[in-house]
Amino acid sequence: MDEDGNLQISNSNYNGEEEEEDPENNTLNQPLLKRHRTLSSTPLALVGAKVSHIESLDYEINENDLFKHDWRSRSKTQVFQYIFLKWTLACLVGLFTGLIATLINLAVENIAGYKLLAVGYYIGQDRFWTGLMIFTGANLGLTLVATVLVVYFAPTAAGPGIPEIKAYLNGIDTPNMFGFTTMMVKIVGSIGAVAAGLDLGKEGPLVHIGSCIASLLGQGGPDNHRIKWRWLRYFNNDRDRRDLITCGSASGVCAAFRSPVGGVLFALEEVATWWRSALLWRTFFSTAVVVVVLRAFIEICNSGKCGLFGSGGLIMFDVSHVEVRYHAADIIPVTLIGVFGGILGSLYNHLLHKVLRLYNLINQKGKIHKVLLSLSVSLFTSVCLYGLPFLAECKPCNPSIDETCPTNGRSGNFKQFNCPNGYYNDLATLLLTTNDDAVRNIFSSNTPNEFGMVSLWIFFGLYCILGLITFGIATPSGLFLPIILMGSAYGRMLGTAMGSYTNIDQGLYAVLGAASLMAGSMRMTVSLCVIFLELTNNLLLLPITMFVLLIAKTVGDSFNLSIYEIILHLKGLPFLEANPEPWMRNLTVGELNDAKPPVVTLNGVEKVANIVDVLRNTTHNAFPVLDGTDQTTGTELHGLILRAHLVKVLKKRWFLNEKRRTEEWEVREKFTPVELAEREDNFDDVAITSSEMQLYVDLHPLTNTTPYTVVQSMSVAKALVLFRSVGLRHLLVVPKIQASGMSPVIGILTRQDLRAYNILQAFPHLDKHKSGKAQ
């Protein structure tokens, strides 16, 4: 399957709208099996630049005999060591994320700062064409570096990385997403892309970088140079890696916005599928370490030792000095901001979805086309940022304002640009600066007449266009800052239009506009509210911010999915939603299993030839193990054995000359619990002789004796909730009545089997209107 075919299939259901008819008119007792074809699954998804085979992750504890013995024999010292190492790794995740975030900020501010100083020098001499050439040339060079690194060295470093992290924490193994090369390209590429003035932020990439750090720490380093310390091997499993990556994603948000509580809530609300109180504390600890690191470097930079970094503090867009006053009449404009945010956010998601599909067609033409696309966007961005300020009229400086006016430096709220002394260009103040400074300027308070309505309209229109065409090019990119810029523009416009009819400052209207558009596009509420409070340091904004976020999310949800969910569907990642479709209550897991091929089972003591045949002719990750052929006792389900464990048995030649059960000590001599936790399923490396084919293997000690099972009469909706909540990879279906001669297991359900789109391929009558609505 090619990339375009995969995108078309995966996107056919992205709107997620429900049918209008009541799906519960049919009872479970009625025959629903009007099959057109068997239940098929295509474990392929677009990861980076190519379609990759997607595997699920084993979050379930494999309770075999080895695990049980290891658990019983652990001393208090070993348990304490394990817990202590968890907290140590959480601390290191926060430490390294804070250091790298500081490095990125320093690099971006200095590179962009010297570029803007050079441009300002030529503008001050009225050499505008020279300034344009330097501005455009520097941006093209920085974009070229970022794009070439992504295209030729780490395609998975493109984009924000948040949808892939969300998929991983949902139980999907996304290949090459958390490698060392990906992390390095993400760091350098983010510096280049943001310093180039592209309409993207470093917030999303920082979340990905934090997750990469967590993954690398958990596995002991890059794949080819791993540290083989014994204590690190305890973390070489999917469960502990999931917890670390959750800490990494929260640390990334904290480092981006300097928002520790917001980072924890972002991980809880947006990316994590599975959560518990112990993980909450470790995540909060990681973000606290990030804040300490950032605070330490900010103190150093305040003394002037960081070049052009400036003297900013932990609060990025401080509006704490503004007196927040609002009355009953202000509820109307605040409501309008929320409604506009929901409508514009959903419209932005819809248009960006179309742009991403177009970019996919362009990117399929080859690597050089990806580079040319990025350079074209950079050229258009540079020309607009430099040229559009010439359309604005010069405005006189207000002598009552304490700030310097006009300014010609790297930053400043009143850029002189082409204006005479005593005048400033309000559009150049917003465009000819870094994105962070643009947000600070448009959030500025007690400056009601600083920006004209025409300049705000130009700014809003430009960043709507740039926000659509920039995301999707082959560079690390984040969505947070572009959406903040767009939202703050229409918020400030509404505040300007209200004039004296409102008591709320125009800068606060810009804050509310940014929050509403983010809620309308990303559909976050709680975490977003806390992030904006920590960004602006004004607790008095809490009531109206909550009100705006709830309205924007409600309006946006009535149109389409969030932007990250749309990207998940575009890439074909088999993400399991929290809420089952209503029609899933009308289908049982037994009926769903009937649409699948027969389950492949193994005996408790199995012949080597049969194991080799099963591994060679199937791609299943696990197999039920059955015991007993006695007419009186019947057959029983002993458990589930993983494919990786079968491969390990064959590689270690753990064979028996006769068909018998092994003793407990025999398996402990050959295998360790830590060794079995490693994922190793490359059957191609195994060579078995003809004489070994006739030997036997006792599978009992390696079998998970407590797999999750469901009765065949359970609804698919209920099974989906169980599968997602526990983080399963396999769910065994057992018969409702165990009759003599009947197998104790009738099938296995996996992630692909429970996806709504795959089910509807086999049972299209269940939701007759859905495919028509999604087109």
Residues belonging to the chain: 775
pLDDT above 90 for 247: yes
pLDDT given for residue 629 in this prediction: 58
**CA–CA gap between residue 274 and residue 278 (Å, rounded):** 12
pLDDT above 90 for 505: no
For residue 139, give every residue at least 6 positions away whose Cβ sits within 8 Å of its Cβ, in sequence order, or none.
115, 196, 197, 198, 378, 381, 382
pLDDT band at 19 (very low <50, low <70, confident <90, very high): very low
Tokens 């692909």 belong to which residue? 752
Pairwise pLDDT comparison (32 vs 756), residue with the higher score: 756
**CA–CA gap between residue 49 and residue 153 (Å, rounded):** 11
> Would you give the distance in Å from CA 701 to the centre of its chain?
38
pLDDT band at 415 (very low <50, low <70, confident <90, very high): confident
CB-CB contact of 46 with 229 (8 Å): no
CB-CB contact of 97 with 252 (8 Å): yes
> What is the average per-residue pLDDT within 584-610?
91
pLDDT above 90 for 690: no
pLDDT given for residue 52 in this prediction: 63
Q: What letters, b where the CB count within 10 A reaches 16 and e where it falls short, cover 339-366?
A: bbbbbbbbbbbeebbeebeebbeebeee
CB-CB contact of 451 with 496 (8 Å): yes
CB count in 10 Å sphere of residue 247: 34
CB-CB contact of 325 with 543 (8 Å): no
Can you read off the two tokens belonging to residue 680?
A: 């190793």
Looking at the DSSP bridge assignments, the partners of residue 639 are 625
pLDDT above 90 for 722: yes
Q: What are phi and psi of 35, to 5 degrees?
A: -75, 140
Looking at the DSSP bridge assignments, the partners of residue 423 are 396
Question: HSE on the CB side for 543, CA within 13 Å?
Answer: 8
Quick one: which of 707, 712, 731 has its CA closest to 721? 731
Stated pTM of the model: 0.88
pLDDT band at 758 (very low <50, low <70, confident <90, very high): confident
Quick one: which of 151, 242, 253 has its CA closest to 531? 253
Can you read off the two tokens belonging to residue 613?
A: 């045949």
**CA–CA gap between residue 184 and residue 466 (Å, rounded):** 26
pLDDT above 60 for 240: yes
> What is the average per-residue pLDDT within 223-243?
75
Quick one: which of 566, 373, 385 has its CA closest to 472? 373
> What is the average per-residue pLDDT within 496-513?
85
DSSP summary character for residue 690: T
pLDDT band at 766 (very low <50, low <70, confident <90, very high): confident
> What does the pLDDT look like over 615-636, one tens digit per residue?
888 888 899 999 875 555 568 8
Give whichever of 141-155, 430-444, 446-460 has the largest mean pLDDT.
141-155
pLDDT given for residue 516 in this prediction: 96
For residue 276, give every residue at least 6 positions away whose Cβ sits within 8 Å of its Cβ, in sequence order, or none.
none
The overall average pLDDT reported for the chain is 84
> What does the pLDDT look like over 280-325, one tens digit per residue?
999 999 999 999 999 998 888 877 777 777 655 566 777 767 777 7
CB-CB contact of 136 with 379 (8 Å): yes
**CA–CA gap between residue 77 and residue 373 (Å, rounded):** 57
H or E element in which residue 732 lies: strand 731-734
Rounded to whole angstroms, the maximal C-alpha distance in the chain is 101
**CA–CA gap between residue 488 and residue 460 (Å, rounded):** 9
pLDDT above 70 for 771: no
CA-CA distances (angstroms) from residue 748 to 97, 168, 622, 640? 40, 22, 9, 10
pLDDT band at 175 (very low <50, low <70, confident <90, very high): confident
In percent, how much of the chain has pLDDT > 70?
A: 88
Do strands 50-53 and 696-698 pair parallel, antiparallel, or not at all (unpaired)? Answer: unpaired
For residue 437, give every residue at least 6 positions away whose Cβ sits within 8 Å of its Cβ, in sequence order, or none.
411
Quick one: which of 694, 683, 503, 570 has its CA closest to 46? 570
pLDDT given for residue 28 in this prediction: 36
Q: What are phi and psi of 268, to 5 degrees?
A: -70, -45
> What is the average per-residue pLDDT within 583-600?
90
Residue 253 identity: V
**CA–CA gap between residue 527 and residue 517 (Å, rounded):** 14
pLDDT above 90 for 413: no
**Cα-based angle 120, 121, 126 (whole degrees, multiple of 5):** 90
For residue 37, give every residue at least 6 positions away whose Cβ sits within 8 Å of its Cβ, in sequence order, or none.
761, 762
Looking at the DSSP bridge assignments, the partners of residue 602 are 625
Structure-derived torsion over alpha carbons of residues 724, 725, 726, 729, reported in degrees to the nearest 10: 0
pLDDT given for residue 630 in this prediction: 54
CB-CB contact of 201 with 480 (8 Å): yes
> Would you give the distance in Å from CA 293 to the centre of its chain?
24
pLDDT above 70 for 55: yes
Q: Strand, coil or helix: what is 327?
A: coil
pLDDT given for residue 15 in this prediction: 40
Pairwise pLDDT comparison (678 vs 492), residue with the higher score: 492
Residue 303 identity: S
Compute the radius of gyration of the chain from its Cα atoms.
29
> What is the average per-residue pLDDT within 737-747?
83
Sign of CA dihedral 531, 535, 539, 540: negative
CB-CB contact of 402 with 409 (8 Å): no
Pairwise pLDDT comparison (665 vs 31), residue with the higher score: 665
Tokens 């003599």 belong to which residue? 740
DSSP summary character for residue 662: P
Beta strands in 576-661 (DSSP E): 602-603, 605-607, 622-627, 636-642
Q: Strand, coil or helix: what is 639?
A: strand
pLDDT above 70 for 239: yes
DSSP summary character for residue 56: E
